[in-house]
Each structure stands twice: as C-alpha cells, then as structure tokens.
Amino acid sequence: PVDGTGRAHGKAILIGEHAVVYGAAAIALPVPSVEAIAQVELLPAGSPGSLTSRLHTGPLATVPAELMPVAAAVHAAAIEVGLDPDRLHVRIDSEVPIGRGMGSSAAVAAAVVAAVADAAGRTLSPEVRHELIQESERVAHGNPSGLDARTVVADAPVRFLRRRPQGAVPVGAPVSFVIADSGVSASTAVAVATVRARREAAPAVIDGVIEELGALVDPVADALATGEAAALGAGMTRAHHLLREIGVSSPVLDDLVEAALGVGAAGAKLTGSGGGGCVLALARTPGSAGALAAALRAAGAPRTWTMTLPKTPDL
C-alpha cells in the first residue's frame, strides 16, 4: 500500500554558473521530463523503517553513504509532520542522472519530503518545504546555495542572487532546449576549487572573465523575456567560451557544443559546474529540437533530453 506520493524534477543552469559563487546572478531551468518519485508506506509498530531504491534496499538506519542525504530528508520531513521516521517505508524511483549537474540529490529530497508530508495528510508551505530539502542538501553538498532546491520544484525559470531566489523569469515565446549528457560525472566541489585556484594565481584575468560571465545574465534574461532565440543563444555560447577560459570545460563538452552549433543550434554551453556533466543547447525553433538531439547523440552523447519552456501565461 502507498500512503503518500511525492515528485520533483531535474534542473539545468541556463546562465551564471561559477560567476554566481562570486556574487553574480544565475538563472536555472526546471527540467520537468526528468522526474524523481517517492512513495511512502506507513508501517505497523515494531517494523523498522526501510528504503527501496535502485542503489540500495534495506533498513533506513544503515543506508550507504550516497543515500545519507535521502535518510536525512526522510528524518527531517517525518519530524516536521509528526510521523515516526522508524515506521516508514520509502521507495525512490529517480530518472535524474547522478553527478551530471541536474539536481539529482535535490530532486530526490524534494520528492521524499512531499511524499512524507502526503502520508501525514499535510501540505507544507514553500518555505518549510525548502528548509527540509536544504537539510538533505547540506548532507549531500555541505554548503548548498539553494538554487537546486528551488528549481527542482519550480515550474518556470528561477533567478538567483547571493543565495536568494529573485523570482520567476518570464518567457516571451516557447523555447526548446536539448540537454546532452557527456557521459562523464564530475564533482561540483572540484570545479569550484579549480576556479578558486586559478583566481588566486591570476586574479585580474579570472576576475575579468567572471565579470563578463555575470554581465551576460541580464541580456540572457531579456532575450528569454522577448523570445529572441538568436540573442539568447549568443549569450549561451559566449558563456561557454568564458567558462572554458576559467578552466571548467573539457574536450568532450567542447565537442558537444561544436556539434550543436554545427547543426544550427542558436547557442550551446556546458551547464552546471563543468568538468563533465551536461551541455545545454538551444534549438533555433522548437521544431528543430529533435534533429538537434539526434546530432548530439551522433556526436557521442549517451543520452539527451528535450524540453520546451512554455510562454509565461498572461505575458
């Protein structure tokens, strides 16, 4: 029997990764087609809490290290809604790839929090829900900005500045993106440390590039609001070249960006912390997204996801 269900989705960063660490804004996109689903069953007294997932099935009390953030989400949410975490069976099914910058840990945490609340018959306020997801994210990442935790439950692009959400970003016309997996997982912490080390070695150069990256955020937001795919894509591609300059791209990511541009994408860039992870490419028109995805797979991406951001209602 299922007593509670929750779901959340993946995310991709449109613009501002790395520069956001140094005070610039960033915009992240919800990726609704890549879902994490959690189901909760209330167990009779005396049965130990347990977890079922692709990575591990067994008691909640002894999950392996990679599932500690999930256990943290179960505990935090159960305490919040007055359930005994030791009497829950939690089942997780997630399509969000791990270690690709798509917000896997936040999506799973958000799904778990929603499922536990549902099992208790409770609706959480957005702020309480956010704090519970962040408790799990702190176990996963130490010092999370909250960008992932916000975007995995958002239904529109989210703008962030200095760790605070700035609200939804309007979309003036439907735009279609293809996310291409490089097949390589990479650590956000390592990428952030790479930029920090380069900045210490050459502060003027790296600060100049970071400033240029930050200066792309407003033009990209404006292009999204007016529905100008060419301007949006140009900002994305420029961001990729700047991210390459600060040392967070890779030959695989560069090849995928080139492949996208080679078949006429409006723009393409690495998305997230880089080193591996994914490339985000903007189709010139929604109708050309399928061909763009095929080109990215032909260029070596093991998988792609296509998504269309709808026009903001009443805009």
Where does this chain bind ligand PMV (CB under 6 A)?
A: 13, 17-18, 20-21, 101, 145, 188, 191-192, 272-273, 277
Nearer to ligand PMV, 17 or 80 (CB): 17
Nearer to ligand PMV, 170 or 274 (CB): 274
- From the list 231, 229, 239, 208, the residue with the least C-alpha distance to 288 is 229
Nearer to ligand PMV, 117 or 309 (CB): 309
Burial 70-83 (b: 16+ CB within 10 A, else e): bbbbbbbbbebbeb
Least separation in angstroms between residue 137's CB and ligand PMV is 10
Sheet (strand 304-309) strand order: 267-271, 278-282, 175-181, 304-309
218 vs 211: CA distance, rounded Å = 12
Collapsing DSSP to helix, strand or coil, 205 comes out as helix
261 vs 209: CA distance, rounded Å = 22
Least separation in angstroms between residue 196's CB and ligand PMV is 11
Nearer to ligand PMV, 176 or 194 (CB): 194
Least separation in angstroms between residue 55's CB and ligand PMV is 19
Could you give the dihedral angle defined by the CA atoms of residues 221, 222, 227 and 233, in that order, rounded to the nearest 10 degrees? -60
Least separation in angstroms between residue 28's CB and ligand PMV is 8
Least separation in angstroms between residue 185's CB and ligand PMV is 10
Nearer to ligand PMV, 44 or 142 (CB): 142
Give residue for tokens 């912490």. 189
